[in-house]
Structure 1
């Protein structure tokens, strides 16, 4: 998993935790009274619902884009096996040279 994927995974985990914490806060605040509090609570619940829907939508988009990229890569490799082998060999040579240089 590369750095960007780790950051995305961490962000999704943190957003999910924030939603859970907010839901817990709402559940624990049932004892509070007053119209102003109820209005604020209703707004927060609506915002949480929208945030959950948006997180699910983003997850679906990311999964679909990942699948599309994998299919495109697979098609390219099948259509250009020698180019792919050459690129892989070049990258391997470059990595080998960098490793040898640092020792």
Structure 2
């Protein structure tokens, strides 16, 4: 199972590769004679910075939500241990039954 941090890291790596390709394309000396290229380069840099900031905030928010969910599950397990144990036994019995039928 892929974790959130692995997915974010993979996405960030792909974005960095794409940005690198765009920058190398725009840094071509042949394009320096076109006045709009400087503006395009600046917009690209601004967009990259914006995407990075958004990605970092999204990853932090996802991590905070995951931590809060873990805390809630921990509180529930401590407040209702018999319900959690009963559910675990029921799931285990169901999995055992299904595996025994194979």
Q: TM-score interval w.r.t. the shorter chain?
A: 0.7 to 0.9
1:77, 1:84 within 8 Å by CA — same for their partners in 2? yes
- What is the match of residue 74 of structure 2? 74
Specify which structure has the bigger relative contact order, considering alpha-carbon pairs within 8 angstroms and separated by 6 or more residues. 2
Q: Which deviates more, 75-84 or 14-23?
A: 14-23
C-alpha deviation, 1:27, in angstroms: 5.3
Task: Tell me which moved more, 76-85 or 28-37.
Answer: 28-37
Structure 1 residue 15 corresponds to structure 2 residue 11 = yes
Gaps of 5+ in 2: none
Distance in 2 separating the partners of 1:70 and 1:7: 15
How many residues align? The count is 98
Gaps of 5+ in 1: none
TM normalised by structure 1 equals: 0.81
Residue in 2 that maps onto 1:48: 48
